[in-house]
Structure 1
Amino acid sequence: MELSGIGVWSQQLRYGDAAEAAESAAELEELGYSALWIPDVGGPLFDAVGRLLAATRRTVVATGILNLWMHAPEDAAASHASLTAEHGDRFLMGIGVSHAPLVDRAEAGRYQKPLAAMRTFLDGLDQADTPVPSESRVLAALGPKMLELAGKRARGVHPYLVTPEHTRTAREALGAGPLVLPEQTVILCADRDEARAIGTDWLKNYLSLPNYANNLLRLGFSPEDVESVSDRLFDALIAWGDEEAVRRRVDEHRAAGADHVCVQVLTEDQGAFPREQWRRLAAALL
C-alpha cells in the first residue's frame, strides 16, 4: 500500500450524495491524489469505504478515523478482510478514540481510559479470525502516549487539526520508520476576512473538544488563543489564501517529517463537494 504524496480528506465523500461521491473519487484518482480519507461520526462506515474502493482502481481509501466506540473489533476486521479481498490492499484503517463530549452524548460515562480502550480494540483486531495487519492501520495520535502506542502497534499516525510543529513532534517521537500522515485544512480565498467567514465557526466547534484544545496547549498556544480563536491560532491550523499558500504549508509538513499530507477543503457551502478547489490544488500540488 503506497502512502505518499497528497490525499484528500472529505466529509462529502462519506456523507454527501453517493453518486457524486463515486464520481468525485474517480476524478480525484485521475487528478493524482494518492488517498481519500473519510470521517466516522455514525452510519455504515464500511459501505462508504466499499463504494469509494469500487469507484477507484489504485487510490488508497482510509478512515480518518474509525471511531472505536462505534464498532466491534471483530466486525471491523471482517469488513477489512472482505474489502481487501475484493479490491486489493487499498483500505487503510485509521482508528481513533474520538472525544468524550461526542461519545458520552449517546451513553453518558462511556468515554473512559481512551488509551486502554485503544489497546483493547487493537487486541481485538489482532485476535480476529482474519486479523487487520499492523501495516494496514494507523492511529489518530495527538499526545505522547498515543504516539508511543502507534509506534508499537500500527504503521504510523494520522493526526487531525495539527500544525507542522506537531508533525515534527510526531516524527521525533516515532523515529524514522512509522508513517506520519497529517490532515491539513485549507481555504482558497482572496483575503483574511473571507477565510475567517468560512473557517472561524468551523474551527470553534473543534476547539470545544478537549483533545484538540489540550494538544494546542501542549504546542504552546495559550488558553486565550484557543478561547478566542486568535489570528495566530487560525493561521497555524488553516492554510488560507491562494494555491501557493497551501503549497507552502504542505511543504512545511513535509520538511517536518510528514510522509503524506491530506488536504481538507473548506468552502462557504460546507455540504457541497469542493470539486473546483480539488482541481486547482491538484494543479499546484501534484
Structure 2
Amino acid sequence: MDLGRLGVWNIGIRAGDAGRNREAAAELEELGYGAVWLGGSPAVQEAAPLLEATSRLAVATGILSIWDHEPEAVAEQTAALEKAHPGRFVLGLGASHGALVGERYTRPYSAMIDYLDRLDTAGSPADRRVLAALGPKMLAASRDRAAGAHPYLITPEHTQKAREVLGEGKLLAPEVKVVLERDPDRARATARAHLEMYLRLPNYTKNLLRLGFSENDLTGGGSDHLIDSVFAWGDLDAIARRVTEHFDAGADHLPLQVITSTPQDVPLPQWRELAPLAKN
C-alpha cells in the first residue's frame, strides 16, 4: 500500500459543501499529498466523492467505528470502491471509545477481532485495511490481521514502539497534529482547546501514561511538555523537524491534522504551506 510521504487528516472535507470538498481533494492531489484521511467516524461511502474528484489520491477512513457499521455491508461497500477506484481506498477501522459509543462498548479488543473475522468471511482483503492501534494487543492485531496501523494522538516515541511491534513490511501511518503558529502561547492555547476532549477519553490517557507522562501532565488542558510532545507547532522548519522525527522512528506515511480554532475547517492555506514537506 503506497500512500506517499504525507497525507492530511481532516473532518471538514467529508462535511459541508460537496463541491468545495471535491475541489480541495483535487488540489491536495496536485500539491503532492498521497492520501486524505476522513476523520470523525466516517462511513465507507463518504470516500466516493473524493475518489471521483481525483485520479491518484488515496482516501482512507480514519476511522470507521466498528460499532456503527455491519462488517458485511462494509465489505460490500469496500469492494464497490475497489472496483471503481482500484488500489485507492483504505479501510481504517477502530473500536472508538466507551464515552462515545455507550452501552454497546464492551470488550473492544474482542469486538475488533470478531469484526475482522466477519470481514474475512465476507471476502474483504486484509491488505487494504488498517487498525487504529495504541496498545500492544491492537498493534499486534494490526500486524497479524491488517496491512498495518493508524495510531492517533501519539508521539515519536510511540511511533518507535509501534514499529517494534509491527516489524518491517507493515504500514505505520500515525496521525500528527500540526499548529502553524510561531508564538508559543497562542500555539499552545490552540492545542489545548483541541486536546480538551481527548483528555477525557481513557484510551488516550492510558496510552499517554504508558509513554511516561504523569497525571499532572494530563491536567489543566495538558502541560507544556505534553503539548510540545504531541503537537508539532511553529513554522514550517519546526513542523519539518517533527515530521523527520516520526520517519526516523519508523513511520511510513504521516497524515497531518492541521489544528485551527474551527474544528470543521478545511484549512487549504495551511495545507498549501505544508505541501513542500510532502515532496522531501
TM-score by length of 1: 0.94
Asked if residue 27 in structure 1 is aligned to residue 27 in structure 2, the reply is yes
Aligned residues: 278
The residue number in structure 1 matching 2:74 is 76
User: 1: CA distance between counterparts of 2:132 and 2:146?
Assistant: 11
Q: Which moved more, 1:210-219 or 1:172-181?
A: 172-181
CA contact (8 A) 2:41 2:62 kept: no
Q: What residue is the counterpart of 1:258 in the other structure? A: 251
Q: State the shift of 1:46 in Å.
A: 2.5
**Are 2:145 and 1:153 aligned?**
yes
| Aligned counterpart, 1:174 | 166
- Equivalent residue for 1:88, pick from 86, 89, 101: 86
Q: Which moved more, 1:171-180 or 1:23-32?
A: 171-180
Correspondence 1:124 to 2:114: no
1:281 counterpart residue number: 274
Residues 58 and 90, structure 2, Cα contact 8 Å, conserved in 1: yes
Contact 2:11 2:263 in 1 (8 A): no
Query: Partner of 2:210 in structure 1?
Result: 218
Instruction: Give the equivalent residue in structure 2 for 1:17.
Output: 17
User: Residue 264 of structure 1: SS of its match in structure 2?
Assistant: strand
Matches within 5 A, 1:98-247: 98-104=96-102, 109-128=103-122, 131-228=123-220, 229-247=222-240
In 2 relative to 1, CA 159–194 (structure 1 residues): closer, same or farther, beyond 3 Å? same
> Could you tell me which residue of structure 1 aligns to residue 260 of structure 2?
267
Cα deviations by residue, 1:149-196 (Å, 9 ceiling, x for unpaired): 111100100001110000000001111121110000001012111112
Q: CA RMSD in A?
A: 1.1
Q: Percent identity?
A: 51
* Offset of residue 266 of structure 1: 1.0
Indicate conservation of the 8 Å contact 1:247/1:285, yes or no: no
Which portions of structure 1, spanning 4 or more consecutive aligned residues, are displaced by more than 3 angstroms?
none
Task: State the distance in 2 between where 1:188 and 1:153 align.
Answer: 36
Name structure 2 gaps, 5 residues minimum.
Answer: none
CA–CA distance in structure 1, aligned partners of residues 98 and 271 of structure 2: 33
Q: Contact 2:179–2:258 at 8 Å: present in 1 too?
A: yes
**2: CA distance between counterparts of 1:173 and 1:210?**
22
Write the letter of the residue equivalent to 1:88.
P
Which string of whole-angstrom CA distances, capped at 9 and with x for unpartnered residues, describes residues 62-102 of structure 1?
01111000000000000000111111121100100000000
Q: Distance in 2 between matches of 1:57 and 1:144?
A: 36
Query: How far 1:199 moved relative to its partner?
Result: 1.8
User: Structure 1 residue 263: deviation in Å?
Assistant: 0.3
Q: Secondary structure at the match of 2:87?
A: coil
Distance 2:127 2:184 in 1: 40
Code of the aligned partner of 2:82: T
Please give the secondary structure, in 1, of the residue aligned with 2:169.
Answer: coil
Instruction: Work out the CA distance in 2 between the residues paired with 1:273 and 1:155.
Output: 28
Work out the CA distance in 1 between the residues paired with 2:167 and 2:86.
Answer: 29
1:216-236 deviation digits (Å, cap 9, x = unpaired): 000000011012300000011
Q: Which amino acid aligns with 2:219?
A: E
Please give the alpha-carbon distance, in whole angstroms, between the structure 1 residues aligned to 2:35 and 2:145. 22
CA distance in structure 2 between the aligned counterparts of 1:236 and 1:83, rounded to whole angstroms = 37
Letter in 1 for 2:67: W
Alpha-carbon distance change, 126 to 141 in structure 1, aligned in 2, over 3 angstroms: same
Work out the CA distance in 2 between the residues paired with 1:272 and 1:158.
22
Structure 1's unaligned 5+ residue stretches are none
